[in-house]
Amino acid sequence: MPSTAGREANWQNRTLFHGDNLAFMRAMNSETVDLIATDPPFNKGRDFHATPDSLAAGARFQDRWSWERDVHEEWLDQIQDDYPHVMNVIQGSRSSYGDDMGAFLCFMAVRLIAMRRLLKPTGSIYLHCDPTASHYLKELMDAVFGKRNFRNEIVWCYRGGGVPRTGFARKHDLIFRYSKGKDVTFNVDDVRIPYSESVMESSASRYDKSYRSNKVYSGYRPNEKGKHPEDWWPIQPLMPSDRTERIGWPTQKPLTLYARIVAASSNEGDVVLDPFAGCATTLVAAEKLGRQWVGIDIWQQAAQVVRRRLENEVSLFGAAEADSSVTFTDTPPERTDDGDTAAPFLRIKERVAEPDGPRWSRKQMYEHLLAQHGPRCMGCNRTFDDPRYLELDHNTPRADGGINHVSNRILLCGPCNRLKSNTYTLSGLRRINKQRGYMV
C-alpha cells in the first residue's frame, strides 16, 4: 500500500474561501490535498447567468478571454522564467487558435502549477472541460503534471435537445485524470457498475451447462460487485424539472458524476479540493462520502449555496448544523511549511541563490538593460533602430542553474535567442556566431 503521507493542512475541514483561487492556493501548505476535482471555465466565449428566482439567482461569470485584459505580467514572468515547457504550450495555442486561447491557458497554467504543489504524492486531479479547449488543456496538463502521469480521458456522455443541421450532435464533455506520481489511490470496487440482466443471465446459463455436463467452466464469470467502469460515463445531466438537486447554476453538473470521482480517487477522511467550487457539487459529494473538503470561489453567495445544499442533500445536516459547520472566509491562510511556490518536478534547480531584495519584473529588467547597453544584441553586436527586435534571455541557462536576477540577464535578437536556446552561455553563443561569421 503506497504511503499517502503529506504535510499538515493550514485550514479547517469544511472551509470555503471567497476570492481569487490563485491567491488562496498559493497560501495553502504543500502536499495537503488527496484529490482535486474541479469544473473550471471552458473558454466558451460568452457570459453565463444563473436562473432567476433560483437559489443561485444573481450568479454570473464571464467565460471570454483577452490577452491584453486578462493576462497578468507576474504570470508571464513566472511561466517564461521557470516553466519554459508550459510557455511553449501557451504560445503554440496563440499561433494555432488565437490570443483568447493563449490567455485562457495562461490563466489555467499558473493555477495548475499551484494545484500540483498541493497534491499529496498519491493524489490525483480530475479537470472537467469540453472540446472547445480540451486539446490544449491536455497538452498543458502534460507539461505541468508530466505525460507519464496521464491516467484517463473520461468521456461524460449524455442525451438532450439541440441537433445541428450540418454535423453530429455534440453530447459529451471531457474529464482529464492525472496523478501526482506513479503510486495513486484508485478504488475500483467502490465505483463498479451493475451488469445488465442479459449479461448475468447469459453467464449463469453457460456456467449451469458446464456444471451439468461435468465440464470445467472456462468462461468469464462476472464480478459479484459489478463491472469495472470504462472511461465513458453515460450519466444524464440535470433537467430543469429537477427540484431536489438543481439550484439554477448555469453550468451545474450532476452529483452522481462527481460522487463517482470522489469515491474512485479518495478514501474516507481524505481531503478533497475544488478551486472552482461554484455551486458546490464536489463539496457535497465529498461530504456525503465522508471526506474532508475545502473549496474556493469568487462568487459572494457561494457560502449560502453550500450551506443550503448541505442542509437539503446531506441527511446529517439541519439548518443549524449547515450554518455553523462551514467556515467562510476571504482571508488566505498563513503558510506553515517551507513556503515553496512550485513542485520540485517543475521548478528549475538553482545552483546560486537569488540575491536578497525585491524581484524585478521582466519589463523592469528589459528597460534596465536597454538603458545600459542601448538597442544592441549582446550575441552578435547588431544595433537595431527598434528595441522590439530584442528579447530578454538568461546568460547562464536556467537548465544549468542560472538565476532570474538581472545580473544573469541579456538582450538578444530573435535569431541569436533561438540559436542560444537553453544550451549556450553568452560567451558560448558569441563564439559560435564568430565561427559562423554572424558577428558584426
Domain containing residue 134: CATH number: 3.40.50.150
Q: Quick one: 374 and 319 in the same domain?
A: no
3-state secondary structure of 404: coil
Please indicate, yes or no, if residue 399 is contained in any of the structural domains.
yes
Residue 352 lies in a domain: no
- Helix ranges (DSSP H) in 361-407: 362-373
Q: Write down the residue that cell numbers 464536489 correspond to.
A: 282
Q: Tell me the residue range of the domain where 390 lies.
A: 362-436
Residue 200 counted as domain residue: no
- Average pLDDT value for residue range 207-234: 69
Cα-only R_g, the chain: 26
In a domain, 94, yes or no: yes
Residue 63 pLDDT exceeds 90: no
Same-domain check for residues 324 and 379: no
For 265-283, what is each residue's pLDDT tens digit? 999 999 999 999 988 999 9
Query: Taking 70 as the threshold, does the pLDDT of residue 4 lie above it?
Result: no
Phi and psi angles of residue 13, each rounded to the nearest 5 degrees, phi first:
-60, 150
401 lies in the same domain as 289: no
CB-based contact 233:157 (threshold 8 Å): yes
Query: With a threshold of 0.85, does the pTM exceed it?
Result: no
Q: Does an H or E element contain 154, and which?
A: strand 150-157
pLDDT at 50: 55
Q: What is the CATH number of the domain that holds 366?
A: 1.10.30.50
Count CA atoms closer than 13 A to 225's CA, side-chain side.
8
Q: Does 307 score more than 50 pLDDT?
A: yes
- The whole-angstrom separation of Cα 141 and Cα 149 is 9
Q: Quick: pLDDT tens for 344-362.
A: 545 545 445 566 677 889 9
Do 58 and 164 belong together in one domain?
yes
- Structural domain count of the chain: 2
Amino acid at 244: T
Mutual orientation of helices 134-145 and 84-96 as an angle, nearest 10°?
170
Same domain, 416 and 298: no
CB 348 within 8 A of CB 86: no
Answer for the pair 330, 18: CB distance below 8 angstroms, yes or no: yes
The rounded distance, in Å, linking the Cα atoms of 152 and 157 is 15
Q: Return the residue matching grid coordinates 459547520.
A: 325
Q: Is residue 199 part of a domain?
A: no
Residue 211 is predicted with a pLDDT of 46
Asked whether residue 215 is domain-assigned, the answer is no
Residues 285 and 425 in one domain: no
Per-residue confidence at 224, pLDDT binned at 50, 70, 90?
confident
Closest CA to 114 of 5, 4, 30: 30
Cell of 438: 554572424
